[in-house]
Chains A and B, each alone.
Chain A
Amino acid sequence: MEALSNRKKVLEQKPMNFWERIYLPAIFQGMAITFRHMFKKKETIYYPEVQREFSENWRGMHSLKRDEDGRERCTACGLCALSCPAEAITMVAAERKKGEEALYREEKYAAVYEINMLRCIFCGLCEEACPKEAIYLDGPIVPSDYLRKDFIYGKDKLVEQPFNSKA
Chain B
Amino acid sequence: MEIAFVLEKFVFITVIFALSLVVAMYSTLAERKIAAFLQDRVGPNRAGPGGMFQPLADGVKMFLKEEIIPTQSSKFLFIAGPSLAILTACIGSAVIPWGQDVVLFGKTIALQATDINVGILYIFGVVSLGVYGVMIGGWASNNKFSLMGAIRAASQNISYEIPMGLSIIALLLLTNSLSLKDIAEQQHGFNWNVFYQPLGFLIFLICSFAETNRTPFDLPECETELVGGYHTEYSSMKLGFYLFAEYINMFVSSAVMATLYFGGYNYPGMDFVNSLIGPTWGPLLGMGVLFLKIFAFIFFFMWVRWTIPRFRYDQLMNLGWKVLIPLAIANIVLTGVVIALVNKF
Show the binding face of A for B, using Cβ within 8 Å: 22, 27, 30-31, 33-35, 37-38, 40-44, 46
Contact = CB atoms under 8 A, between A and B. Distances in A.
Nearest to B311: A23
A56 B42 CA distance: 29
A42 B37 CA distance: 8
Contacts of A30: 307-308
Nearest to B318: A21
B303 A37 contact: no
A40 B323 CA distance: 37
A40 B40 contact: yes
Contact of A35 (B39, B40, B303, B308): B303
A31 B37 CA distance: 13
Contacts, number: 33
Interface string B31-43: 0000001111110
Interface in B289-321: 303-304, 306-308
Contacts of A31: 303-304, 307-308
- Range for the number of chain B residues in contact with chain A: 10 to 19
B39 A37 contact: yes
B303 A43 contact: no
A3 B37 CA distance: 44
B318 to A, nearest CB: 10
A27 B41 contact: no
Contact of B38 (A34, A41, A43, A46): A34
B218 to A, nearest CB: 16
Contacts of A34: 38, 303, 306-307
Nearest to B34: A38
A30 B40 CA distance: 15
Given A31-B308, A42-B40, 16 more contacts: A27-B308, A30-B307, A30-B308, A31-B303, A31-B304, A33-B307, A34-B303, A34-B306, A34-B307, A35-B303, A37-B38, A37-B40, A38-B38, A41-B40, A43-B40, A46-B42
Nearest to A36: B38
B303 A42 contact: no
Contact of B37 (A22, A37, A46): A37
Contacts of B39: 37
A40 B37 CA distance: 8
A52 to B, nearest CB: 15
A163 B324 CA distance: 77
B308 A38 contact: no
